[in-house]
Structure 1
Amino acid sequence: MTTPTALGTGEARTRLHELTVIDVRTPGEYAAGHLPGALNIPLGHIQRALPDIRDAAHRKDVLVVCASGARSENACKILAENGIATTTLSGGTGAWAADGHELHRPQGSARTVWGMERQVRLTAGALVLLGLLLGVLIHPAFQILSAGIAGGLVFSALTNTCGMATILTKLPHNRPRAHDLDRTLAELRSR
């Protein structure tokens, strides 16, 4: 399988009006700021959205976006396996914002939301600290928890995957409500 093609932020901004932009981050991350006109279909729900994305791809080119580019590459590979040509945004929304482009927020989205990378850092750090503290205060065997998390982080870096992020996407604040996803898919069909 080939690596999906990527657009730089400047080219994506210039072509935004001719693209269907799909943001595959969690609903919380999407609410914290997304590309103008982007629709939120989290990575775990791409399979459900295949027919609608396929139809949209016949009308406009599809640009898949995430925070850094890793999840959008995974989404592009899934879509390619299903015969849907897509492009990813090089560097994701992080690069978009770093290049001075505006991120939009849904109306009424006042809650503070942490990006997935920040959630992973907090969880990993807390588990390492817990393992160390329990290892000192209760029993040295608890330090295995810290070693396991460290090993997982190394594996994550080497494979560009993140099992902890996969688990964290299952938390209620990271999952789309069924009616939100249905509304997004209806909007995708109408574009």
Structure 2
Amino acid sequence: MNSPDIRAVSSISASEFKQQKQSPDSQLRVIDVRTHAEIESESLAGCAHFPLQDLNSAALQSYLQQHSHDSSQPVYLLCASGQRAARAAEQVQGDLDNQLVIVEGGLNALKQLGIEVTKGSGTMISLERQVRIAAGSLVVLGIVLGTAINPGFYGLSAFVGAGLVFAGVTDSCGMGMILARMPWNN
């Protein structure tokens, strides 16, 4: 049995992507893996939306086939900063015939370069900011409860701190994945 040809995942700088996107004959296929709420807040024109938490190789492959996308052309993966795009590439690599290209720095880097984004009606806080707010709040809560009620509550702060270390080492954030599934992000 022959194993499928697994194409390498590559990356492209935000400035190179901007040049390609703005060229007159641009036919880039861009998949945005941010949450629904983030898309409603702002988006890059011409992107298809497949939230990371719902990303399905079969649905993505079907979308590419329906839109007559040439399998020899790369598929660009976009998120807010590049982290979720890298995770998306890991999820679907080997299931698609296309080369996957991660846009480094994501939409944040593109906006810094002056690329035009469509502002929506949503006022969503980015998922990364939600994680920082939730983690910081839990640490403060653990300290307050540990001081005021029982020192055992300091364990909450330690647990969150350990989770942040784990997220940094593994580049996988459980809190982010939980928050992405919350009703306000759908």
Is residue 110 from structure 1 mapped to residue 110 from structure 2 by the alignment? no
What's the offset of the Cα at 1:142?
A: 0.6
Q: Which runs of 5+ in 2 are unaligned?
A: 1-5
2:83 paired with 1:70: yes
Q: Secondary structure at the match of 1:117?
A: helix
CA distance in 1, matches of 2:13, 2:173: 24
1:187 equivalent in structure 2: none
Unaligned runs of 5+ in 1: 176-191
Q: State the secondary structure of the residue aligned to 2:29.
A: strand
Counterpart position of 1:51: 61
- In the alignment, the residues of structure 2 paired with residue 51 and residue 94 of structure 1 have an alpha-carbon distance, to the nearest angstrom, of 27
- C-alpha distance in 2 between matches for 1:36 and 1:73: 21
CA distance in 2, matches of 1:145, 1:32: 32
Displacement after TM superposition at 1:15 (Å): 2.3
The percentage of aligned residue pairs carrying the same residue is: 34
Q: CA RMSD in A?
A: 2.0
The Cα shift of 1:172 comes to 0.8
Q: Distance in 2 between matches of 1:92 and 1:133?
A: 37
Query: How far did residue 54 of structure 1 move?
Result: 4.3
d(CA) in 2 for partners of 1:53, 1:124: 36
Secondary structure of residue in 1 paired with 2:159 = helix
Q: Residue 167 of structure 2 contacts residue 174 of structure 2 at CA under 8 Å; is this kept in 1?
A: yes
Pair 1:132–1:2, CA change in 2 (3 A): farther
Q: Deviations over 1:114-139 (max 9, x none)?
A: 00110001100111111111111110
Aligned to 2:103: 89
- SS of 2:146 mapped into structure 1: helix
**Residue type matched to 1:51 in 2?**
Q
Q: After TM superposition, give the deviation of residue 168 of structure 1 in Å.
A: 0.3
CA distance in 1, matches of 2:8, 2:61: 22
5 Å-filtered alignment, 1:20-169, equals 20-47=29-56, 49-55=59-65, 56=67, 57-58=69-70, 60-84=73-97, 85-105=99-119, 109-169=120-180
The CA distance in 2 between the partners of 1:149 and 1:20, in whole Å, is 38
